[in-house]
Amino acid sequence: MPRTPLLTDLTARARTTAHTRARTSPCPCGATTTLTDRPDGTVVRHEDTVAKAHAPHTDPTHLTARLTTADHLPGILLPPLDPTPLRLHDRLVTCWPYGTPVDPEDPDAAPWEAAATLLAHLHRTPPPTPLPPMRGPLKAVRAITRLRAAGPHPAAAPVLRAWTSLPAWARAESPQPDTTTLCHGDLHLGQLVRHPATDGPWLLIDVDDLGVGVPGWDLARPAAWYACGLLPPDEWTRFLTAYRAAGGPAVPATGDPWPALDVPARALTVQTAALSIVKAVTAGRPLDEVEQAVVDACDRMGSVPPELTPGFAK
């Protein structure tokens, strides 16, 4: 596949930044790797530097506020090399130090405790600068929009029913109930790296969805996986216990966490199911076992009237 002008120039930016940090002249030497090349974000790495072209139409004021927050919280979030984004091919671009990601081939080494502890510290930290709302619900809306655009599919109906059972704030149709708590907005294990590589402390990355909102959203993906039977109970317990031990405010310190997690977990289940169907349609294949499990969970959710579910709010 031919390289786009954006990818070519983003690679050049990563090389220049890497060699500036190393105090050497820019040159094409050293391996450059494309980590992600999608319409909503392109990421390349050269040596110890990562350059990211953010999604088109990213708000520069919001992104700058998010970068400033990461710059002020170096023990929680990976700080950018420069808290001011630049423009490249009409895309906002940021540069970051490289960190070692979670190894997807070694699930037993998944840093659940580290992820939970970082989230708890993030949720307990006052935002160092005014921030927009956390973008988690908007990502769920985008998933539903893609599902509807993908065309008819037999698994879509239960997902859309489950979507309509969610309260308005979880569908980004009204403000979130919490407007002060600092949240990541898209927490999963791919959002952690060790920095300095390869044995530094774990830090959270990707500030595109960072903002103020409902902290339970950051716990919702592992909670949803656990509820769907996709995350072993001991791993969920490790995560929840570590979050509580670090004083995380999203759930009570003891007792049942689900009244606080129910709506976010249902929303993430719907989002995951919608994207699973889109991927299957795009690839022209049936749903796999995991994808069918989240669709089945949506089917169960949609059968319960929303006013009878825990955490229901208009």
pTM (predicted TM-score): 0.91
Q: In whole angstroms, how large is the CA radius of gyration of the chain?
A: 20
- Per-residue pLDDT of 45-80, as tens digits, reads 999 999 999 999 999 999 999 999 999 999 999 999
Report domain extents, the chain: 5-97, 107-308
Residue 311 has pLDDT above 50, yes or no: no
Residue 302 has pLDDT above 70, yes or no: no
Burial of residue 39 (CB within 10 Å: 0-12, 13-18, 19+) is exposed
Reported residue count of the chain is: 314
Residue 159 has pLDDT above 60, yes or no: yes
CATH fit for domain 107-308, picks 3.40.50.1110, 3.90.1200.10, 3.30.450.20, 3.60.21.70: 3.90.1200.10
Calpha distance 267→141 (Å, rounded): 10
More reliable by pLDDT, 31 or 235: 235
Residue 309 has pLDDT above 80, yes or no: no
Residue 312 has pLDDT above 60, yes or no: no
* List of residues 6+ apart from 284 with CB closer than 8 A: none
Q: What is the pLDDT of residue 18?
A: 86
- Per-residue pLDDT of 190-231, as tens digits, reads 999 999 988 999 999 999 999 999 999 999 999 999 999 999
Look-up: residue for tokens 């249902």?
Answer: 266
- Looking at the domain that runs over 5-97, which CATH code has it been given? 3.30.200.20
- Across the range 128-143, mean pLDDT stands at 98
Distances (CA, A) of 285 to 143, 282, 289: 19, 8, 12
Residue 12 has pLDDT above 90, yes or no: no
Q: What is the pLDDT of residue 20?
A: 82
Choice among 54-58, 102-106, 145-149 with the minimum mean pLDDT: 102-106
For the chain, the average pLDDT equals: 92
Max alpha carbon distance in the chain (Å)?
Answer: 65
